[in-house]
Structure 1
């Protein structure tokens, strides 16, 4: 499941950062690959694609900084209550 999430995330990023290979652990913002407008698009896309709600407390660049971070965030949000969150580390 996690790999399927990562594949979707990679595809979305590739659409917005053309002609650039992005590693799963590469910081998208620190590397200047994306901007704040993309961050908003990414949050909306995550909500729609994975059918989850991103709450105010979730709006942390650390959750959206890389493919691994996004997949970990999504996994945590989709984990059954009390089941613990999946992390990419």
Structure 2
């Protein structure tokens, strides 16, 4: 399951993180610019797609649910813009 993989990645970097799929990880203080790039690379490598520039919005990475939706859109070949 996509959301489980994303949660595992975040919790692997921040074992103390108690986050759910709809928690804002930016507001929780877990995201800095380096980790944001790591998230992008993790999603691209794990789910085998390139995130288009128009999808590099903070809102697509704010929650596990948003990242799961991003993966779903890219897997279906749907672009937003």
- Per the normalisation by structure 1, the TM-score is 0.82
1:46 shift after superposition: 0.4
Of the candidates 14, 18, 21, which is equivalent to residue 17 of structure 1?
14
Gaps of 5+ in 1: none
| Residue 64 of structure 1: aligned partner | 61
* Larger Rg, first or second structure (1 or 2): 1
Alignment deviations for residues 30-49 of structure 1 (CA, whole Å, 9 cap, x no partner): 22122111000000110000
Aligned residues: CA RMSD: 1.7
1:20 shift after superposition: 1.8
| Residue 51 of structure 2: aligned partner | 54
Aligned residue for 1:18, secondary structure, equals: coil
- Per the normalisation by structure 2, the TM-score is 0.89
Give 4+ residue runs of structure 1 displaced > 3 Å after superposition.
none
Gaps of 5+ in 2: none
1:80 shift after superposition: 5.0
Of the candidates 57, 76, 79, which is equivalent to residue 76 of structure 2?
79
Aligned residue for 2:17, secondary structure, equals: coil
CA distance in 2, matches of 1:46, 1:18: 19
How many residue pairs end up in the alignment? Answer: 80
| Residue 42 of structure 2: aligned partner | 45
